[in-house]
């Protein structure tokens, strides 16, 4: 793993000259493989007459050779557009769709979605938030935007929703569109139509990440989602106890099914221990220990980290002040470290695995 970490770091630091963006973020590096003393990778060019071909080749070759003098670097060009990838025709301006999932409700999935989106933004990435937890949309509360309604813009005689921007993060939630009481009565086809609208009829800007808060468990929303966009990967949130982990395995298995084939990137363990604010050195393991790591092992994914139960996290989330938690030195760091691990895993996923394909409707 160590060598891969170093390779990511080196490649991430190389900027595509025209856009100034990292070549890894632009998904120009694919098919990465390290075998014995060989590093294989393909460089996907945006066009056949791409002017910075040799410049990029030298940068990649030289930097990798310098870091790994005992390895042989095999870098080849692939003349296939890295920018207009076929599987994501609907929203090509969004580079990564990350679903935040859980086995059951109340484990802190929405709180994690919002805080991780903010933390990813702190890493210098452009991030949007989509609340697909249609039965209990809590994103507007956490962002403190319950009273706002998304604007509607008419483009080529079609009405489009403009995501509501909070601290530079565009967001959409059913909670900003209808009253919460109305949401609970939504069923199958209506749900599917709303999910589709969030993608097809919304004006999302260029984003490195769209963080998608899913409803707990497996159901219509999850299915519609994978039929609408190619999910880059899923992050599973669980609490440490056995019962939560059992449900979380079911949620993970849905993504891993052959027909769906969305990679489970890893696991975040929330509510790992209780940490009283007046005794920050004390840790009470209210829900047991080790569930998150076990889930990561069982799903052969990464363990991204643990978040303790902290009064301030709940207080700030419930009163629309999540940004405050993230600027707190201690709590903010917890989310930032997890976001760093997620970003690294996504970068690696994009370099080593094929892009996800949208699931075709039967």
Give the contacts of 61 (CB within 8 A, at least 6 positions apart): 73, 75
Q: Minimum Å distance from CB 247 to ligand ADP?
A: 11
User: Residue 162, Cα to own-chain centre: how many angstroms?
Assistant: 21
Closest separation in Å from C-beta 109 to ligand ADP: 3
Task: Show the tokens assigned to 309.
Answer: 């139960």
**Separation CA 321–CA 315 (nearest Å):** 8
| Axis-axis angle for helices 188-200, 220-228 (nearest 10) | 30
Q: In the beta sheet, which residues pair with residue 98?
A: 211, 233
CB of 231 to ligand ADP, least distance (A): 18
Q: Measured from the CB atom, is 314 or 333 closer to ligand ADP?
A: 314
- Cβ-proximal residue to ligand ADP, closest one: 108
Q: What's the closest the beta carbon of residue 201 comes to ligand ADP, in angstroms?
A: 25
Which residues sit at the interface with ligand ADP, rule CB under 6 A? 102, 105-111, 138, 270-271, 307, 309-310, 313-314, 317-318
Residue nearer to ligand ADP on the CB measure, 7 or 322: 322
- In the sheet that holds 164-166, the strands lie side by side as 164-166, 169-173, 127-131, 207-213, 94-102, 233-238, 264-274, 302-309
Closest residue by Cα to residue 286 from 267, 308, 312, 316: 308
Closer residue to ligand ADP (CB): 208 or 247:
247
- As a whole number of angstroms, the longest Cα–Cα distance in the chain is 63
- Closest to ligand ADP by CB, 211 or 317: 317
**Minimum CB separation from ligand ADP for residue 133, in Å?**
6
Nearer to ligand ADP, 14 or 129 (CB): 129
């Amino acid at each position: 793993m160590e060598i891969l970490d170093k390779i990511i770091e080196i490649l991430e630091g190389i900027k595509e000259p025209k856009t100034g963006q990292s070549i890894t973020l632009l998904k120009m590096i694919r098919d990465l493989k390290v075998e014995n003393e060989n590093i294989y990778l393909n460089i996907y060019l945006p066009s056949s007459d791409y002017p910075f071909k040799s410049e990029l080749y030298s940068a990649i070759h030289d930097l990798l050779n310098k870091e790994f003098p005992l390895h042989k670097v095999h870098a080849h060009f692939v003349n296939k557009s890295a920018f207009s990838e076929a599987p994501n025709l609907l929203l090509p301006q969004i580079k990564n769709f990350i679903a935040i999932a859980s086995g059951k409700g109340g484990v802190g999935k929405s709180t994690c979605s919002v805080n991780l989106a903010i933390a990813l933004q702190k890493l210098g990435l452009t991030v949007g938030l989509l609340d697909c937890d249609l039965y209990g949309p809590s994103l507007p509360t956490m962002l403190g935007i319950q009273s706002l309604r998304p604007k509607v813009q008419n483009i080529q005689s079609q009405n489009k929703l403009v995501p509501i921007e909070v601290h530079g993060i565009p967001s959409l939630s059913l909670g900003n569109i209808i009253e919460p009481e109305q949401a609970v009565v939504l069923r199958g086809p209506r749900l599917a139509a709303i999910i589709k609208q969030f993608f097809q009829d919304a004006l999302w800007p260029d984003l490195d990440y769209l963080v998608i808060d899913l409803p707990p468990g497996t159901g219509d929303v999850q299915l519609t989602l994978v039929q609408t966009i190619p999910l880059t990967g899923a992050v599973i949130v669980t609490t440490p106890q056995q019962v939560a982990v059992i449900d979380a395995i079911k949620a993970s298995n849905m993504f891993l099914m052959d027909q769906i084939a969305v990679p489970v990137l890893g696991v975040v363990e929330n509510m790992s221990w209780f940490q009283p604010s007046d005794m920050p050195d004390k840790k009470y393991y209210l829900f047991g220990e080790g569930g998150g790591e076990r889930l990561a092992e069982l799903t052969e994914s990464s363990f991204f980290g643990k978040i303790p139960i902290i009064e301030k996290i709940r207080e700030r989330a419930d009163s629309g002040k999540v940004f405050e938690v993230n600027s707190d030195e201690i709590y903010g760091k917890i989310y930032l470290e997890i976001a760093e691990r997620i970003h690294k895993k996504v970068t690696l996923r994009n370099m080593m695995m094929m892009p996800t394909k949208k699931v075709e409707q039967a």
